[in-house]
Structure 1
Amino acid sequence: MADGEFGGYGGRHVPDPLREPLDELAAAYDEVRETDAFREEFRALLEEFTGRPTPLYHARNLSERYGADIYLKREDLLHGGAHKINNALGQGLLAKHAGRERLIAETGAGQHGVATAMVGALLGLETEIYMGKKDAERQAMNVFRMRLLGAEVNEVTRGGAGLADAVDVALEDFAENVADTHYLVGSAVGPDPFPRMVRDFQSVIGEEAREQFRERTGALPDAAVACVGGGSNAIGLFHAFRDDEVAFYGAEGGGEGPDSTRHAAPLASGTDDVLHGMKTRVLGDDVEVHSVSAGLDYPGVGPEHAMFRAVGRCEYTAVTDDEALAAFRELSETEGIIPALESSHAVARAIQLAEEGAHDSLLVNLSGRGDKDMETAAAKFDLE
């Protein structure tokens, strides 16, 4: 696999000044990740700092309602409230071993920014976060959490003031400060080695879930379901099942709402192009990027997901805001679990599959909890 290519997707489509630092990062990653010292430190901190393993939960009430066994991989119970800490911890340790003194990161919903700030505090690394202004406004509590943890948060106002713009600014910072800075990419996107590095650090999700499911049921699930923005939680779940007869379903933010406004999704509606140093599925500049969830508001997707789509390994579907909000409320009311709006897209897709009778057992990655989305939800629901 040359320069992290996935069936023609991925690679390193970067300007010359970034090629050498990316070569060095890839070499450091390939060397350090196999050492006993790194593996043991990472394993210990996953257990003691983040709270792994996370449980596999049988959503009995939801299962009874829809006639299929629905299981939730409870990444929402991790320290920080989302799966993001798995990758942040792995990359933070890699940066420390490589002698870097500073972490930078982009964030949309804020969960990756919070996770990076936590790891920066833990490891004693200076931390700076870039976040689109519109995302910072709707995720003000996460901005406060990052600052409380000692990180500097920069609100990006260029372009659409969203996640893609935050990535642009973070890449520029990285290019200017490669000597002492590690860019802690938050999803399975960007130039190699980031997509495979993020996948590897997130693969603990699927590895645990596979073992837990077999122990619980004596078999594997018929299908695995996850939300997809950049795609880190989904690829983290899918990777352990890649050679099994388990169907994959990715739920993107987008689709068509009741007002008939079309909100496109990269895998469902995009074209092959280069974005942020990778070849992948990308929405054009003339297409609106929107989701009720800030974490899915990205005009591209990880290159391994683009490959999965091309070869038919995973079915990707755009889930509307209304469908995600309905699932957000339904899981809260039926199971006593309030999911993140990102994860609600996966729950919505699982409910659709159960209603269709497509599978008897569904494994859903509940990638985050809904604390950060309370203001958005309160504006949508009248609960009086």
Structure 2
Amino acid sequence: MRKPYLKSYPDKEGFFGEFGGSYIPEELIKPFEEIKKAYEEIKSTPKFIEELKHVRKHYQGRPTPISFARNLSNFCGGAKIYLKREDLNHTGAHKLNHCMAEVILAKHLGKKKVIAETGAGQHGVALATAAAYFNLECEIHMGEVDIKKEYPNVVRMKILGAKVIPATHGLKTLKEAVDSAFEAYLKDTDNSIYCIGSVVGPHPFPMMIRDFQSIISIEAKEQFFELECKLPDNIVACVGGGSNAIGIFSSFIDEETVNLYGVEPMGKGEKIGEHSASLTYGEEGIMHGFNSIMLKDEKGEPAAVHSVASGIDYPSVGPEHAFLKTQNRTKVGLCTDKEAVDAFYKLSQMEGIIPALESAHAVAYAMKLAKTLPKDKTILVNLSGRGDKDIDYVIQNYPL
């Protein structure tokens, strides 16, 4: 009998096939080993499980529901589209699923401060929320471009008590925010912990974040069966680093009848700097401490990237997503800026749900996919976040 996928990957060194691992400076080896050891110690203990379960139920508002997008489905005229409503999770996105757990881990380690990067600001808001709940200091690094683009979330982080540090080098977006956060963490590993915001980075973070985000698919599997008396035929999620996607995929990886689609940002075109489609146009490479598939420039360095959605404009992707793609377990879809904005408006006006621009990429692809399928087929979209943070930017740049 084949061993279940989630018990097989990653291996002890943090590899999903050839992807993953830990490629970090010598001064980070000890603190990352400390994090790995602590996680292995507490992850199966009744105290940790019960505390996380209590927080999710009585604070986060889990389980989040699944909604049938009836009007959108009728508009597309094909498969039925369902939405896993992570936008209804406290703070408005899936990010709190791992942030609460990471801060519990920080407290277990006796840390006083959490440090992180953020792109669209959802991870930053979630971590600031978790830090406030557990009474820890919080420092969030964010690209200067994204600070302007996602200003409502910057305000939220500050109100929640977090210190927001602008990343002012390079393209001043998500990659640079990660660089900046790593540098800050290096200066104070004794008192702080780096809480990575996606299934990226050195081992054990891709594994840990997957484990914490798997609650999405655990809930969805049971909920969808109650609605349709079967599993979904297709699951669709946007992919930048890939935390929401691996969250909705994880419990379905061994279900071979379920097609898994990771949707990448095609941005404005195929040229380097016009998109963030790492799995589609990238090649193997090491960045931010892990080996995966990444977009490279002519010098072999991380390439310039673009997306209308700040949370997914990253020149690499989580190593598990790279592995699942090379194993042909997941399929890669593409969505342009224009298609994402169109889906943003369509879902808002047809279902009364304003999605995050990141999530709108998944909605847009699901709409295209639905039109190719018969009406007895189903698509489950992970609606990873709500669009409050994006409304000013969308109205200013893509007016009605």
TM-score tier, shorter chain, comes to over 0.9
Secondary structure of the structure 2 residue equivalent to 1:96: helix
Summarize deviations over 1:201-240 as a string: whole Å, max 9, x none: 0000010000100111110000110000100000000001
Q: Does 1:70 align with 2:81?
A: yes
Q: Does 1:351 align with 2:351?
A: no
- Tell me if structure 1 keeps the 8 A contact 2:17–2:323: yes
Q: Does 1:313 align with 2:324?
A: no
Question: Runs in 1 of length 4+ with deviation above 2 angstroms?
Answer: 255-264, 285-288, 380-383
Task: Give the whole-Å Cα distance in 2 for the aligned partners of 1:260 and 1:193.
Answer: 30
- Tell me if structure 1 keeps the 8 A contact 2:85–2:382: yes
Summarize deviations over 1:23-52 as a string: whole Å, max 9, x none: 111110011111101110000001111110
Q: Does 1:15 align with 2:15?
A: no
Q: CA deviation at 1:97?
A: 1.2
What corresponds to 2:110 in structure 1? 99
1:174-185 → structure 2 map (5 Å cutoff): 174-185=185-196
Q: Does 1:372 align with 2:393?
A: no
Q: Does 1:342 align with 2:342?
A: no
What corresponds to 1:328 in structure 2? 344
Secondary structure of the structure 2 residue equivalent to 1:105: strand
- Of 206, 219, 222, the residue aligned with 2:217 is 206
- Tell me if structure 2 keeps the 8 A contact 1:70–1:363: yes
- Ranges in structure 2 where 5+ consecutive residues have no aligned partner: 1-10
What corresponds to 1:44 in structure 2? 54
What corresponds to 2:171 in structure 1? 160
- Of 35, 39, 62, the residue aligned with 2:45 is 35
Supply the RMSD in Å over aligned alpha carbons. Answer: 1.6
Letter in 2 for 1:247: N
Letter in 1 for 2:121: G
Secondary structure of the structure 1 residue equivalent to 2:13: helix
Structure 1 residues 258, 306: CA separation in 2 closer, same or farther (over 3 Å shift)? Answer: closer
1:67-146 → structure 2 map (5 Å cutoff): 67-146=78-157
Q: CA deviation at 1:261?
A: 8.7
What corresponds to 2:16 in structure 1? 6
Secondary structure of the structure 2 residue equivalent to 1:263: coil
Q: TM-score, normalised by structure 1?
A: 0.97
Structure 1 residues 62, 252: CA separation in 2 closer, same or farther (over 3 Å shift)? Answer: same
Task: Give the whole-Å Cα distance in 1 for the aligned partners of 2:314 and 2:297.
Answer: 12
Secondary structure of the structure 1 residue equivalent to 2:82: strand
- Of 217, 229, 232, the residue aligned with 1:221 is 232
Q: CA deviation at 1:263?
A: 2.4
- Tell me if structure 2 keeps the 8 A contact 1:257–1:321: no
Q: Does 1:172 align with 2:183?
A: yes
What corresponds to 1:242 in structure 2? 253
Structure 1 residues 5, 259: CA separation in 2 closer, same or farther (over 3 Å shift)? Answer: closer
- Tell me if structure 2 keeps the 8 A contact 1:10–1:279: yes
Q: CA deviation at 1:380?
A: 3.4
- Ranges in structure 1 where 5+ consecutive residues have no aligned partner: none
What corresponds to 1:282 in structure 2? 294
Q: CA deviation at 1:258?
A: 11
Letter in 1 for 2:25: P
- Tell me if structure 1 keeps the 8 A contact 2:273–2:304: no
| Percent identity for Structure 1 against Structure 2 | 49
Letter in 2 for 1:4: G
Q: Does 1:253 align with 2:273?
A: no
